[in-house]
Structure 1
Amino acid sequence: MFDPKSVYFKPRAIPLSVLEEVDLDVDEMEAVRLCDFKNLDQDEAAKRMKISQSTLQRTLTSARKKIAEALTEGKAIRIKKEK
């Protein structure tokens, strides 16, 4: 499973005291990494994650929505690592 080096991204010039956050699960980050960064098709990405293609599609849709929310609303992104 993907182990991100950084787990927190915040917009510049917004104090932590007023900053809202969006939580991104590590599996959502992995889906984005494989499909959007590594340019794998969904079938190959799903195989690598050991999930079905339909599960990958739902995970990817959720992740992209959260990332879009953070970028357009000026929110931080916190990647929640598995414990």
Structure 2
Amino acid sequence: MPRPKRPRCIASRPVTRGFIPDGALGTGEVILSLEEFEAIRIIDFEGMDQSQAATMMNVSRQTFGRILKSARFNLSKALVTGQRLKVTGGCYEMSGQRPGRGHGRGKGQGRGRGRGPGNQKRNGSRRNNM
């Protein structure tokens, strides 16, 4: 039984879920996983190097290289054969949704001691209206 995959960190979902070539010659579709899409975005669009990108996606440098190789193969297959490219699936988590980072765990900003928009200190001393 293989080890379960650790989820890869994805910064954002793609704007579209797929691409259809003009004149669609080929039949079928090529699946590009969301982590493959993210690898292409980080390396080719953002211009980041692979070691930084691997750290950003929470994977090893070697694993990132395999993801990138698979992504480039799937992109080229869709372009060369004229098949539809569908971006979906994969083992991922959104980068802002990790436990312990402001999602119900930890102390937060305090216990209602003046930290918030409605709890600002008043100027001057408190007056007792009698």
1:55 to 55, 58, 63: 63
Letter in 1 for 2:13: D
**Any stretches of 5+ residues in structure 1 without a counterpart?**
none
Q: Given the superposition, is the C-alpha separation of residues 81 and 4 from structure 1 closer, same or farther in structure 2, using an over 3 Å criterion?
A: farther
How far apart are 1:20 and its partner, in Å?
1.4
Higher relative contact order, structure no. (Cα contacts within 8 Å, ≥ 6 residues apart): 1
What 5-or-longer segments of structure 2 have no aligned partner? Answer: 1-9, 93-130
The alignment covers a number of residue pairs equal to 81
Which structure has greater helix proportion? 1
Among all aligned residue pairs of Structure 1 and Structure 2, give the percentage whose two residues are the same amino acid: 33
Distance 1:40 1:22 in 2: 26
Amino acid at match of 2:17: V
TM-score normalized by structure 2?
A: 0.58
Identify the match of residue 65 of structure 1 among 73, 78, 83.
73
* Residue number in structure 2 paired with 1:11: 21
Distance 2:27 2:14 in 1: 22
SS of corresponding position for 2:53: helix
Structure whose alpha-carbon radius of gyration is higher: 2
How large is the Cα RMSD of the aligned pairs? Answer: 1.8
Q: Structure 1: how far apart are the matches of 2:54 and 2:77?
A: 24
Moved over 4 A (4+): none
